[in-house]
Every structure is written in C-alpha cells, then in structure tokens.
Structure 1
C-alpha cells in the first residue's frame, strides 16, 4: 500500500508540469531510439557485407589480374602484357592437391547489337561451372555446357538486364547477338534471372554488375577474340594482352583454405604481408630466423604486383571483426545520447527539489523518513526513464519501415540524387538487433536511477525546520 501511494504521488507531481516532464522524457526517448536505430543500421550494413563475401564461397580462393598503373606501362610501345597466364592456371590446378576444381575466366568489354539496338557490356568467357560458383540462376533456355566449349560453339547466355534491353518484347532464346568489333554472331541459348550487383571486396576484387554480361565458352572467346584487346578512344587507342582475368579455385574443405592460399602465394610469387611481418619480427633476434628471411626472399624472387589473391574465408573473419567494432562505435554514440538524457533528468529533478522544498519539510514534519523522500523522488525519475525507454523502443522498431519509406519517396521525387548514392544506401535493409531492446531499456532505467539518486538524497537531507521556513 505504501509503495502504491508513493508511486501515485510521484506520477501526480510529474503531471503538474507536463511540458517539463515531456521534455525530460524526450532525452531518454532519443537515446533509446538512437541505440536501436544505429545498431539496426549497423547490422544491416554488416549482413550485406557478409552476404557479398559469402557469395564468393567460403571454400573458394580467387586469383585476380590487376592492370598496372599508367606510369608503370609508359615504356611499352605495343600491347601491355599483365595478369594471369594459362600455364599458371594449369600449374595451380594440377600441382596443388587440395584444389578440387579450378575455374578460368576471361572478360572483355564489348558492344552488343540486335537489329539496331546497341548495348555496352561485358563479354565473359567461362566454363559450365561458372554459373554455379557465381550463383547465377537460369530463367529460360539452358546454360553453357562443356561440349559447347570443346566444339568452340558460338553460343551465349544473356544476363537478365541485357536481354531486357536488346529484346524488350521478343523471346531472346534462339536469336543471335552481333559483336561489331569482331563481326561475330552468337546464338542465344539461355537467359539468366536477375542478379544483384556485388560490392567491391577488399582492395583487389572490384564491384561487379552482372546486368550487362554475355557469357560464352572460354575456348570460343580465345578463338574469336584472342589475348590482345585494342581499345579505341577517339583518334587514340590502347592495347593490352591478358590471357586470364581470374582463376577461381575450389578447395576440398574450408579448413584447408588458408594453407592452400599460402601455397598459391608462393607459386605465383605474391606478397603475403602477414607472414612477412611475422618472419620479419623473428629476424630481429639473432639466430636462424635471419637466414629464414633471406632464404624465403631468394626462393620467391621478385614480388608480382599484377595479380591479387582474395580469400573469402579470411574476408569473412575480417567482416566479423569489423562488425563488432562498428557495433561498438554505434553503441558508444547512442550511449552518449542516453548520458545527455540522464543529465537532463538530474537537472530537472534538482530544480524540482528546490521548488518543492516546503513540501519536503511538511512531509518530514508529518513523520516521513529520509528513505521515504528518497523513494518518492526515485519513483519520479524512474517513471520518466521507463516512459522514455518504452516510447524509444516503439520508435526503434519503426526503423526498417521509416527508412524504406523515406527511400521510396527519394526514389520517387529525387531519382538523380539516389542514383549518385552508393549501392549500400540504395539497398540497405536495417535489421533489428533484438538484444538491443532490453539493453536499451535497461540502460534507460539505470540512467534514471543513477542520475536521480543525487537529487533524491539532497532532498532527503534537508533540515525539516529550514524547509518549512522556505518561501
């Protein structure tokens, strides 16, 4: 009965100043809502990044050709040679025992034509395994087969977007696209389903937009296009010689991916900064370590800069660490908001204590103890925190709905602005971190208690006689 009466008196005191109470609640409301919103946005970004990395396959190793910068190729008078060789593909496939299969890929920028419609895109030479590895699904027709490559057939499979641009009404299967650069026709045997673009991963694998791809057997591409590609820009032109743009190695188990990556680096003479740092740290102490460094460097020879190694399993681990750091950073920002809200509560309650000095003296004169006074003021601060916490949770749960609604409005009324934003801003789907709900609410109540104790104790320590004299 006593606690119920104290709670009733506390709420009644708060309702005497509704605007002041509302503004105090607002600080806690913003803090709790920001905790949930920021963690939801951070989780959405993290899941998208991990989805992109998982799309590469945790049991895959990707070896990618990198075009040297212009200053490094200024001395070449003819085509610039760089990147992966077919001999290196066979070497990796046949000599590393943990490699289950190897996938060669060759990419060339081309213009595709059908009855006067021209679309710029990417001509991809690949094997039949490519579609499974890259998670490309068939919409109609069929995919490329090993027999198509062995017979060097001029068959192709179109991506969804490119098929829609070249054939807005007709069914593409059975038709043929024309390549003006090589004057070749390719019969369309299949069309893929829509595939979301992939974001750039690390500093080596660039973002890929699968919407403008045409896939042909890699043997056909070698026969029709060759290794040297000439690009014309107005009156000038540039030429480059690349045998393979990418080699995707499928490892027999995820546990062997890291060890296999070390073998691939040594085989292709690629830089491994982590292992070099470890060896270098050992070499600082006298003994065999110094000889190990020199032996390693002499065995590897010059380090290649035109090839990069991407290990999705390592990237996933990095993504998990980055996620934890990002969530911690977001939570810290939100905690500062709650701290500001708590300071607002303490400020208001100190002012309330001054205003209610005479009331406190009367209650003490009628027999109320110091504990009773402390409890009354704590009830008021906790009530403010609970109301702010509950409303903040409700606002936090609206995060996905609000962000998607704002994004749709932006697409409707400001499409140019949305087109300039990065992909993550256009496709972000906030994911509510359900653990953040009790966490934010618990923190809000704790803030009410911590920042309400001092005003409550100050009120309880007032001298009853002096309080009664207060005007």
Structure 2
C-alpha cells in the first residue's frame, strides 16, 4: 500500500513538472467524458419528450379516427366512423372496456355579446375528461350521462375560450352563443396541451379554444352535415363521429383488443375512411428508438474517449523517451520492472481520472447551459432552428444517472489500456543502455 501511495505522489509531482503538456493530455479525456454525458442527456430528453406525447394519448387507449377518403367519395355521402360502428363496438367489447368515448368536432363560431371567437366545437360524453387526462377549474363540472340523455344545452369552455368570451367574473352560469343557439356554461377546463392521435404525427394540438357540449346535444342541434364553401366549390359531407377512444380494462389486453376492433370495423367499411392508433404500440416503438438513439450517441461520444486515450499513449511514449536516464538510475538502485510499470501506469491513470472528473463537472452543467445555448442558436441561425422538429428544438436535456459513473470508469479504463504499452516499454529498458543515454 505504501509503495502505491508513493508511486501516486511521484506521478502527480512528475505531471506537475510539465503542466501544459499534462493539461493538453487531460483535455482529450475531458472532452470525451463531457460529450458522453451531454449527448446521453440530450438523447434522453428527446426520447422522454416523445414518450410523454404518446403516454398523453393513454397507454390503455385505442383510438379510431374518421379519415376522408382520398378518392371515389362523392359529396353528400356518409363516411368514417358511424353510430352503428359505435354500437357494434360497445356490444362486442363492453366486458373488456372501462370506457368508450365518442367525439364529434367541427370548427365553429362562438359569441357572447359583442365578443366573437372562432374555435372548435367538441361533442363528447362524460368519460372524455378521464380518457384525455384533462382537469376542470374549481367551481365547475363536466357533463354527466344524464346531461347527454336529456340533450341539455350545456357547455364547458377551454381556458382561452373562457378568457376571450368571459374575461371577467365567474363563467359558470353564463350564456354563450354557439352557432344560432345559446348554451349555459357549467365549467371551465384547465389549460392542457393535447396531441394528435394520428399515428403519422404527434404534434401538440392547441385545445384551449375548444368548447365542449354533450354529443347527444351535438347530434340533435348541429347534425352530421359538413358544408364546405369556397370560390367555385360547394360540397356537403356527412360525418357522424370524428373519433372514438376505447379505454381497455388492462394494458395487457390492448394489443389483442386492437385486433378485435380492426376486425369489427373493417367488416363494414369498404373504403379507407378511418384510421386506428394504438398508443401502446407507439410507446414501445418510441422506447426502442430511444434506446437505439442513446446507444448511437454513446458510440459517437466514446470515439472522443478513444481519441483522448490515443493522446495519453502518445504523451506517455514521449515521456518514456525523455526519462530513459531516470529509468536507468532507478533500475540501477534496485527498482524492479513492476515498480517502473506501476509508476508509468499510475501517471496514465491519473491523467485520465483528472480528465474524467473535470468532464463530469462539465457534463453536470448540461441542463443549466441548454437554455442559453438554445437561445444563442435561435439568434444566430433562426431559419435552421425553426426547421427542426419541436422535440429537438425545444429539448430539455435530462441527465442519465448511470452515465456519470460509467464515464468515469471508462476514462480510468482508457488510462489503463492506453498506458499499459508505454509502461511495459519503460520497464523493459536495459538499465546499462538507459544509463548511457544523455
């Protein structure tokens, strides 16, 4: 033990005699370790963001959406998910579902007095709040099943809709005009960013201007007809349900239920007028992709460590050449080969360990520096940054706990691996030949 402590002290003293050379050698390991931590943190942040968007759709949910056929569909004809489909799904899967929530949504104009708002009118049922993980402001409520059965003119406002239509006072109990009729406000939603259930895109969707009414009221008051007016175009489409969310009783049953749903719906639809999204499948894909992404970034960062290790080997070989006479003197005084090997190996490990510790310190600053760095890049390269996907542009790095000790271990291993050859070369020098050199 005493011999090792003496060797460590001598190694540090020798390295301090050449501070510039030692610093440049440490720099390679420093950059490699910091790169490992930074890249893994960025990869974890991007992956976690994507997973959160998918989890927001519900891991136990199966989502069916109406899609307008790309061709062969004449105006004025029914397409998409229908009330009959909803009934068939309810009858077939009722034992395996906690909830089945239909949604009908259109763009609509809202008003209250002189205030006007263009937003989205959403007809749905009482279960919508739970399956979409949304919350109500205090003092209000969402629909009950009885509100739908009696087709009441009740509505719930999104936070932005409430701010623009009823900016002052208590919104509950006020009247809001939807189309040509008035609806009583029974509650206000808390602010929340939703995500598209289209499996081709999970971009955030602004639901703050939505106004919700019971779907039975929607069917009775608004109807199923969609009228499209544009210059030289007048088209009428019929859509009964925009989306159906099925919440399965157990996550283990989701994939099996998805196959049953697909079979049940496909029997009645000859055209591709619907799509199905299973967030659980997307979640598993995202986790696999995140793991591959992290491994890929880790490999890139590991290259920096290898380059740093090569730098250590280069410096240690040069050191052996410079200290040939010193080695000869130590051997002549009785030092054994293992003493010389230990001395140079410890110097190599000290260099890599110091670089590793400094790299960890720099890596821990990743969450703190990410914001200012992103702001600088937005200022310097606005067009390039705006073209990036939101998950990358607005990524919040998350430190991966195991990356910190792993980086230090790898740094030390690099020091050992790349220091072995110079140490062995020094130990094999012939003492007589070493003493002859000047």
Corresponding residue of 2:157: 158
Is 1:373 the counterpart of 2:336 in the alignment? Answer: no
Corresponding residue of 2:142: 143
Change (3 A) 1:354 1:110: farther
Say whether the 8 Å CA contact 1:200–1:207 is kept in structure 2: no
Corresponding residue of 2:181: 184
Say whether the 8 Å CA contact 2:136–2:188 is kept in structure 1: yes
Corresponding residue of 1:288: none
How many Å separate the matches in 2 of 1:408 and 1:259? 46
Q: CA deviation at 1:192?
A: 1.0
Change (3 A) 1:462 1:257: same
Corresponding residue of 1:309: 276
How many Å separate the matches in 2 of 1:34 and 1:237? 58
Corresponding residue of 1:402: 369
Moved more, 208-217 or 195-204: 195-204
After TM superposition, the structure 1 = structure 2 runs for residues 301-340 of structure 1, keeping only pairs within 5 Å, are 304-340=271-307
Say whether the 8 Å CA contact 1:125–1:216 is kept in structure 2: yes
How many Å separate the matches in 2 of 1:409 and 1:184? 51
Corresponding residue of 1:392: 359
Q: CA deviation at 1:157?
A: 0.9
Q: CA deviation at 1:84?
A: 0.6
* SS of corresponding position for 2:14: helix
Q: CA deviation at 1:426?
A: 5.9
Say whether the 8 Å CA contact 2:102–2:244 is kept in structure 1: yes
Say whether the 8 Å CA contact 1:46–1:323 is kept in structure 2: yes
Change (3 A) 1:168 1:87: same
Change (3 A) 1:22 1:214: same
CA offsets per residue over residues 69-109 of structure 1, 9 Å max, x none? 3xx25x63x24643111100100101234234311111112
CA offsets per residue over residues 292-348 of structure 1, 9 Å max, x none? xxxxxxxx6986522122222323322332222222112212211211211121122
Say whether the 8 Å CA contact 1:64–1:205 is kept in structure 2: no
Is 1:125 the counterpart of 2:126 in the alignment? Answer: no
Corresponding residue of 1:455: 422
With the length of structure 1 as denominator, give the TM-score of the two structures. Answer: 0.83
Is 1:10 the counterpart of 2:11 in the alignment? Answer: yes
How many Å separate the matches in 2 of 1:449 and 1:186? 75
Corresponding residue of 1:106: 104
Moved more, 199-208 or 137-146: 199-208
Change (3 A) 1:417 1:217: farther
* SS of corresponding position for 1:211: coil
* SS of corresponding position for 1:39: helix
Corresponding residue of 2:406: 439
Corresponding residue of 1:291: none
How many Å separate the matches in 1 of 2:85 and 2:112? 37
Q: CA deviation at 1:444?
A: 0.7
How many Å separate the matches in 1 of 2:208 and 2:130? 17
How many Å separate the matches in 1 of 2:177 and 2:241? 23
After TM superposition, the structure 1 = structure 2 runs for residues 187-336 of structure 1, keeping only pairs within 5 Å, are 187-198=184-195, 202-203=199-200, 207-233=204-230, 236-269=233-266, 304-336=271-303
Say whether the 8 Å CA contact 2:57–2:197 is kept in structure 1: no
How many Å separate the matches in 1 of 2:322 and 2:257? 74
Moved more, 166-175 or 24-33: 166-175
* SS of corresponding position for 1:189: strand
Moved more, 188-197 or 421-430: 421-430
CA offsets per residue over residues 249-285 of structure 1, 9 Å max, x none? 122322222222111111112xxxxxxxxxxxxxxxx
How many Å separate the matches in 1 of 2:339 and 2:115? 84
Moved more, 391-400 or 158-167: 158-167
* SS of corresponding position for 2:335: coil
How many Å separate the matches in 2 of 1:393 and 1:352? 27
How many Å separate the matches in 2 of 1:116 and 1:29? 64
